[in-house]
Structure 1
Amino acid sequence: MPTNMKELPVSVGPEHWRFLQKGKFSDLQNDSSNCSMDDSLDTDADPAMSDPCCDGENPVVVEGQRICDAQDQIRGGVIRTPCTKTRMSEALGSEVYFKKEFMQFTGSFKDRGALLALMNLTEEQKKRGVVTTSAGNHAQAMAFQGGKLGIPVTVVMPKTAPLVKVSSCRDLKAEVVLYGSRFDEAKAHAMKLRNERNLIYIDGYDHPDILAGQGTVGLEILEDVPDVDYVIVPVGGGGLVAGVSAAIKHVNPNVQIIGVESERCPSWHTAMENGQPIKCQQTIKGAKQSISDGLNVIRVGYNAFATAKIDRMVTVSEKYIAVAILRLLEGEKSVVEGAGAIGYAALLSGVLPEVKGKKVACILCGGNIDATVLGLVIDRALVQEGRMSRFMVVVSDRPGGLARLVAILAHMGASVKEIGHDRISLASYVYMTGITCTVETKNKAHAQEVRQRLEETYGEDLRWQQESDE
């Protein structure tokens, strides 16, 4: 039997590579088939569905002193999270401090604004109860803080909300209503419940008390790192960046505020381009495909947009968010969700050259990520890092064909993680088989060496699968 595949009298054309699509990573390609360009629901267009605390015609600007007062008010009701220098600073070329808001009781910074908003209700409003809309973190915070204060809480969440967040809200004794596939659909239903039950609606990223509560994160950063040069803030609806920037600029106007959002959900950029918050069509399409689910808000807050003092806005791709989650897990021993890791992702991506050699605080705003999603994200990040590779190759189905492939991998120091045969897709080639193989490699350079060696052996009968940069 020939020892070299190229000696075999067969040519495997593109039509014989159907098994390429059966692999574990086939879902890495962007699938927009379930996305719609239909306009999102607009609750502000109907007076009966609007929120008087978030009025686009008369936005509230939350001043720094209000945030300082909020810090005194919620002191003891939330965790004073650490802001510590990371050992990964040297690799980043900056002195980087992580503000670890994922250490709050409910796993995100949302505890702060939720507590302040609930504390400022009248006694009569507290008895009636509140309703809110959230993809998960704000809902958990409202459930937790409402439970402590004895205030009934109803949360309306999209059906696409992460299971870990839905389960947590129920465990915290909130009434959980799953409605719609998008945030705006859930919000419209929450407004309907508000009117039917005479509840108080508290917007999770635009209520003035929410902004003031979130801003206390900025005050704590300045207490721990008073000479900080840059503060990097994740941006979704804008509540965190608005509060943090207002607080920090109030104390030290020289600190630069950088906001970060996903390329797939650039709602703040859309607001900047139009001079006001409007629905972002790109977010409507991209939200279902983003791992930073906590930031996927179709239109940023009116009060948040009026309040925020951002010096620069950037976007990052999903691949850097995945890599950031992996590196935080390995290097910082911290489990952080996509929204929480996006600031660190901006540092990894190289879009912030101005922070080199500077003192930087990066807010890790949340850690509520499903275990199953975390596993998928780790796999994708390993691919991006060149530490896991997948290829498909046609080899002889005679004795020794597979052994030869495995021997090459062993010689190159690549560890086989998964391997499978596909004989059915090559029905015209009885003595050939398709092999799907996932291997662990050291880094991108090592992966390239393995690929080159296999290409030398199998030529056109090798297909190396790469993840798209999109």
Structure 2
Amino acid sequence: MYRRNEDCDECCDPENPKIIQYDDIVDATQRIRPYVANTPIVAAHSQREFGIYIHYKLEFMQKPGSFKGRGILNALQLLPADKKKLGVVMASSGNEALALSYHASKMNIPVIVILPISIPIAKIQRCHIYGAKVIMQGSNLQEAQKYARALAKDKGLTYINGRDHPHILAGYGSMALEILETTPCLDALIVPVGSGGLAAATATVVKHLKPSVLIYGVQPEKMPTFFNSLESDEPVSLPLQTNMADAISVNNVGSNAYATVKPLLDKMLLVKEDWIARAMLHLLEREKFIVEGAGACPLAAIMGNLVPELKLKNVVCILSGGNVDNILLNRCMERGLASEGRLVKFRVGVRNDPVSKSKLLSLIASGGYNIHRHFQDNSWTNGTEYFVEMKIVCEAKGLAHALELKRTIERAYPCTAVFENEPFNDKRTCPCHTKKIT
């Protein structure tokens, strides 16, 4: 059950939510259009592969690295002059802080951003570079918001709820207007969903101008906050679980966003982490786009075959951001490769002599596999004979090639071979969840 808490204010009151209006979005678009990029919409290279005419809205090309600047800029421009002079406080899980720091620096508005302690160092450094004062506080966004509101009250600053303020949501809607201008034959839009602001703004525009276009929301299965809220028919709160789509992993839905989008959303989807990783990998390898986990969720839904009804339809996937740090990106890429059977991890015991070790490596090489990394544990023994345990990660061509490696190693070492990650099935659909909104 959702409870009113300290991060709510008169603009984001769960007991009195504000419905975002189309006219507000039009006004916001005219206000911010000179200062934000009209990001390209490009056709996917893999349309034939999926049987869907996929197009990508490249919001990661915005200067701060995500769509968040659209809403931030609108909110900043609507501040009275005296409030601008005093400054703004905002709590963020990363992307809002980057957008606020960037645009406020252009407008000479003092900024304090409150970040949870789990935020990647790269995002913290970028906020500093843009000139913001950064305070690390709280283990999650909800705790950071509580601190930000208290600080704003104490210092006389303006607190802006970066995920649910009506001015923020109105700015987000500018993206939907651009999409409809560029893609007149649109059949469906797939939108990443965290607290629901982007989905609310997008649906408001699309259902006003072209009601036949389907609006699908998608979020990670590990943090189904919005999905569960729709299931419960009221906003709910969930404990935070870390996952690859950190930008849309939130404890609570936005009260304004939820009230706005609930009657407009056609379907809500959940995707597993493996499919988010596959989507990130696909975008990097096939499209040459570096996209964060949240931005890859729409493609993950398509790759997981959650939207078969969109075959032969014109679909826009919103790639909402690209602010992923190098360590997490590397982890996601390896997870994606492992999920596709292109990285195979196993361990095997061999006698501790050069001939036995050479035989194992020759067996791997003869099958056309490349050793990605390996580690030798010399202290492992079995009975009276001394063995070493070889821990190996191999590159394979795909699932079938990985299966053949598994069979080969297990035949040669039936007693000591153990495969630690086994994506060894040919099920190409995602065992995820959908909710059709009625």
* TM-score class, shorter: over 0.9
What is the CA–CA distance in structure 2 between the aligned matches of 1:45 and 1:146, rounded to whole Å? 27
Equivalent residue of 2:76, what SS? helix
Q: CA shift at 1:275, angstroms? A: 2.1
What is the CA–CA distance in structure 2 between the aligned matches of 1:365 and 1:285, rounded to whole Å? 21
CA contact (8 A) 2:162 2:168 kept: yes
In structure 1, the residue matched to 2:252 is 299
Equivalent residue of 2:354, what SS? coil
Q: CA shift at 1:341, angstroms? A: 0.8
Q: Structure 1 residue runs of 4+, over 4 Å off?
A: 467-470
Which of 267, 270, 278 aligns to 1:312? It is: 267
In structure 2, the residue matched to 1:439 is 394
Q: CA shift at 1:402, angstroms? A: 0.7
- 1:69 matches 2:22: no
Structure 1: gaps of 5 or more residues? 1-38
In structure 1, the residue matched to 2:334 is 379
In structure 1, the residue matched to 2:213 is 255
In structure 2, the residue matched to 1:51 is 9
What is the CA–CA distance in structure 1 between the aligned matches of 2:71 and 2:317, rounded to whole Å? 19
Which of 182, 185, 199 aligns to 1:241? It is: 199
CA contact (8 A) 1:54 1:303 kept: yes
What is the CA–CA distance in structure 1 between the aligned matches of 2:85 and 2:240, rounded to whole Å? 39
CA contact (8 A) 2:351 2:385 kept: no
In structure 1, the residue matched to 2:363 is 408
Structure 2: gaps of 5 or more residues? 424-430, 433-438
In structure 2, the residue matched to 1:133 is 91
Identity of matched residues, %: 38
Question: Which is greater in Rg?
Answer: 1
Which of 91, 113, 117 aligns to 2:75? It is: 117
CA contact (8 A) 1:295 1:339 kept: yes
What is the CA–CA distance in structure 2 between the aligned matches of 1:275 and 1:151, rounded to whole Å? 40
The code of the aligned residue for 2:45 comes to: R
- 1:368 matches 2:323: yes
In structure 2, the residue matched to 1:202 is 160
Q: CA shift at 1:429, angstroms? A: 4.5
In structure 2, the residue matched to 1:182 is 140
CA contact (8 A) 1:336 1:364 kept: yes
CA contact (8 A) 1:398 1:431 kept: no
Residue by residue, what CA displacement relative to the aligned partner does 1:123-169 show, whole Å, maximum 9, x if unpaired? 11111211111111011111111111111111101010122211111
Residue by residue, what CA displacement relative to the aligned partner does 1:420-448 show, whole Å, maximum 9, x if unpaired? 22131326444322111111111110011
Per the alignment, do residues 45 and 205 of structure 1 end up closer, same or farther by CA in structure 2, a change over 3 Å counting?
closer
CA contact (8 A) 2:240 2:250 kept: no
- 1:425 matches 2:383: no
CA contact (8 A) 2:140 2:240 kept: no
What is the CA–CA distance in structure 2 between the aligned matches of 1:154 and 1:454, rounded to whole Å? 57
Q: CA shift at 1:467, angstroms? A: 5.6
Which of 380, 389, 395 aligns to 2:350? It is: 395
Equivalent residue of 1:75, what SS? helix
Per the alignment, do residues 467 and 448 of structure 1 end up closer, same or farther by CA in structure 2, a change over 3 Å counting?
closer
Q: Give the length in aligned residue pairs.
A: 423
The code of the aligned residue for 2:282 comes to: R
In structure 2, the residue matched to 1:148 is 106
In structure 2, the residue matched to 1:101 is 59
CA contact (8 A) 2:71 2:171 kept: yes
What is the CA–CA distance in structure 1 between the aligned matches of 2:383 and 2:411, rounded to whole Å? 25
Per the alignment, do residues 249 and 429 of structure 1 end up closer, same or farther by CA in structure 2, a change over 3 Å counting?
farther
What is the CA–CA distance in structure 2 between the aligned matches of 1:163 and 1:356, rounded to whole Å? 41
| TM superposition score normalised by structure 1 | 0.87
Q: CA shift at 1:64, angstroms? A: 1.4
What is the CA–CA distance in structure 1 between the aligned matches of 2:343 and 2:106, rounded to whole Å? 46
Residue range with higher mean Cα deviation, 123-132 or 310-319: 123-132
The code of the aligned residue for 2:376 comes to: H
Equivalent residue of 2:306, what SS? coil
What is the CA–CA distance in structure 1 between the aligned matches of 2:170 and 2:125, rounded to whole Å? 28
CA contact (8 A) 2:248 2:294 kept: yes
- 1:232 matches 2:220: no
What is the CA–CA distance in structure 2 between the aligned matches of 1:467 and 1:107, rounded to whole Å? 35
The code of the aligned residue for 1:402 comes to: K
CA contact (8 A) 1:65 1:250 kept: no
Q: CA shift at 1:379, angstroms? A: 1.1
What is the CA–CA distance in structure 1 between the aligned matches of 2:24 and 2:62, rounded to whole Å? 22
Equivalent residue of 2:394, what SS? strand
What is the CA–CA distance in structure 2 between the aligned matches of 1:159 and 1:455, rounded to whole Å? 45
Equivalent residue of 2:414, what SS? helix
In structure 1, the residue matched to 2:282 is 327
Equivalent residue of 1:124, what SS? helix
Residue by residue, what CA displacement relative to the aligned partner does 1:285-339 show, whole Å, maximum 9, x if unpaired? 42x2x01110011111010011112110000001111111111111111100111
Residue by residue, what CA displacement relative to the aligned partner does 1:67-90 show, whole Å, maximum 9, x if unpaired? 122111111110110011111111
CA contact (8 A) 1:277 1:305 kept: yes
What is the CA–CA distance in structure 1 between the aligned matches of 2:381 and 2:265, rounded to whole Å? 57
| TM superposition score normalised by structure 2 | 0.94
CA contact (8 A) 1:392 1:464 kept: yes
